[in-house]
Amino acid sequence: MPDPSETVRRANAADAEVLARLRFEFRAGIADAVEDEASFLARCSGWMRERLESASPWIAWVASDAGGAVFGAVWVQLVEKIPNPVGEPERHAYLSNLFVRPSQRGRGHGSRLLSVALDECDRRGADAVFLWPTPESRSLYARHGFTAAGGRMERRSWHAL
């Protein structure tokens, strides 16, 4: 179980650098990076800072230890739907980049990040929450109500996994 002093909180622009590092650890951990680490970190932290410091469709949360060190994160992008006269919710949510550093895994942090993000999706009236899971994370998402069913189709131009 997580220590009560370990918290999940909303990310802000000051977290951009550590969030970019977590992003690099996640993606370069499952495939060979084709971009130099330093330039990726500069590019990604700039992208993240911009989305976290001003109004944007992106929201992120971080998991941190008692000393405030961030070791996990999750991101959600709210996606507008076209106005619909039949009362359906008018936005979807794209959940991405759920990551917990290996040393901190298996103690419920991933689950807590996911729960906080999904609560916010519910609060904002999201219709479908969609994501592309890594193979090992499918059981975690299934426990939080995700299914592989549905009428969605997708066209991929590149397959990393």
Ligand X SMILES: CC(C)(COP(=O)(O)OP(=O)(O)OC[C@H]1O[C@@H](n2cnc3c(N)ncnc32)[C@H](O)[C@@H]1OP(=O)(O)O)[C@@H](O)C(=O)NCCC(=O)NCCS
Residues forming contacts to ligand X in the complex (CB under 6 A) are 26, 98-100, 105-111, 131, 133-134, 136-137, 139-140
Q: How far is the CB of 121 from ligand X (least distance, A)?
A: 15
Rounded to a whole number of angstroms, the minimum distance from the CB of residue 90 to ligand X is: 25
Distance of alpha carbon 38 from the chain centroid:
22
Pick between residue 17 and residue 137 the one whose CB is nearest to ligand X: 137
- Nearer to ligand X (CB atom), residue 20 or residue 98: 98
Minimum distance, C-beta of residue 61 to ligand X, in the bound complex (Å): 12
Hey, which residues does 84 pair with through a beta bridge? Answer: none
> Cα–chain-centroid distance for residue 46?
17
- Give the whole-angstrom CA distance, residue 110 versus residue 26: 13
Q: Show Cβ contacts of residue 61 under 8 Å, excluding neighbours closer than 6 positions.
A: 8, 9, 10, 11, 73, 74, 113, 116, 117
| Residue with the shortest CB distance to ligand X | 110
What number of CA atoms fall less than 13 Å from residue 58's CA on the CB side? 19
Q: In angstroms, give the least distance from the CB of 8 to ligand X.
A: 11
| Closer residue to ligand X in complex, CB, 89/107 | 107
Least distance (Å) from ligand X to the CB of residue 46?
23
Of 13, 21, 18, whose CA–CA distance to 38 is shortest?
Answer: 21
Please, which residue, 7 or 111, has the CB nearer to ligand X?
Answer: 111
The CB-based long-range contact list for 142-148 (8 Å cut-off, 24+ gap) reads 143/111, 144/111, 144/114, 144/115, 144/118, 145/118
Compare residues 3 and 54 and give the one whose CB is closer to ligand X.
Answer: 3
